[in-house]
Amino acid sequence: MEYRTLGRTGLQVSTLSLGGAAFGGQYGAVTAADVDATVGAALDAGVNLIDTSAFYGAGRSEELLGEVLAGRRERVVLCTKAGRLTRSDFDFTPAGMRKSVEGSLRRLRTDRVEILLAHDIEFATDYEQILTETAGVLHELKAEGKCRFIGMSALPLGLLRQAIERCNLDVVISYCHMTLQNGRLRSELLPTATQFGVGVINASPLAMGLLTPGGPPPWNPAPPAIRAACCAAADHCAARGVNLATLGMQFTFAQSAIPTTLTGTSRPAELHANLAAMATPPDPQLLAEVLAILATVQGQSWPTGHWRGPT
């Protein structure tokens, strides 16, 4: 396993990290045994960063991680997120953030996490409040020892840039912007993050299921044109005897400027497939063909939350 430095935090994190959304049942039913086996296999492979959230499974992801990490908590750089409670319920107020964090720490069976983020801030109704009050309570929680480092997550790169520039953050999570279909993370976020010493965690390398043979789940917000292009890419790969998801993971892991990429796996077989993709480069000819198929939607995103600035 390769390790890279996460911004100015000094944390050495595995280039492949484990996303906890699947542990909360976001992509299908999962058992405690599944989580235990997957986390154990990840730790054995050298994965040391695990991300979760109070949102995933209404806290179930955190509960399961609290159980399976008992006795091996010190082996993990643990990240959780606060402020998002359900798909439509958000509370980024200082009181709401504090309540969310206390619940997370209780479920995770720990007195602090390494990284604490405000989750999906594009769904806020008052962005000035996010960049002032929410940022302020994150700094307070850091000073109180509830976390070592703080940050925010969001889809729109324009919003994340503002957060980096104004909030003295340590870490951000960007999702769906370092994929076969959208590589804008490199040009539109990394330069700002590097300037401010902020570590970037890349998430959703398969664009929340878009870049898979089976296609995205119903809740994926991508518009029809992006869905159709990704489906065509999946069909092209299948005709070549290749899984589009494998190619997508190979492509993302080949980006050396990205400190770490979260992979939302809930079973050891999925983890091992991602580890194998990390160890092998993409076929250049097939990659070129797939990028050509996706050219008409390359770099396109979608509006999300209440944000109507640059996506």
Domain of 40, CATH number, reads 3.20.20.100
**Distance of CA 273 to CAs 181, 250, 269, 279, Å?**
21, 11, 6, 10
Question: Per residue in 240-251, pLDDT tens?
Answer: 999 999 999 999
* 242 falls within a domain: no
Are 221 and 302 contacting, i.e. CB atoms less than 8 angstroms apart?
Answer: yes
* 231 falls within a domain: no
Residues 119-147, mean pLDDT to the nearest whole number: 97
Longest CA–CA separation in the chain, Å = 55
Of 3, 27, 56, 127, the active-site residue reads: 56
pLDDT score, position 28: 75
pLDDT score, position 111: 96
* 294 falls within a domain: no
| Tally of domains within the chain | 1
Place 233 in a pLDDT band, splitting at 50, 70 and 90: very high
Query: What tokens were used for 246?
Result: 């494998």
pLDDT score, position 310: 76
* 296 falls within a domain: no
The mean-pLDDT minimum among 179-188, 282-291, 299-308 falls in: 299-308
* 225 falls within a domain: no
Task: Check if 27 is active-site.
Answer: no
pLDDT score, position 273: 93
pTM of the model: 0.95
Place 27 in a pLDDT band, splitting at 50, 70 and 90: confident
Q: What residues make up the domain containing 42? A: 3-208+248-281
* 219 falls within a domain: no
Mean pLDDT of the chain, nearest integer: 95
Are 18 and 46 contacting, i.e. CB atoms less than 8 angstroms apart?
Answer: no
Distance CA 107, CA 247 (A): 36
**Position with higher pLDDT, 94 vs 88:** 94
The mean-pLDDT minimum among 62-66, 109-113, 152-156, 263-267 falls in: 263-267
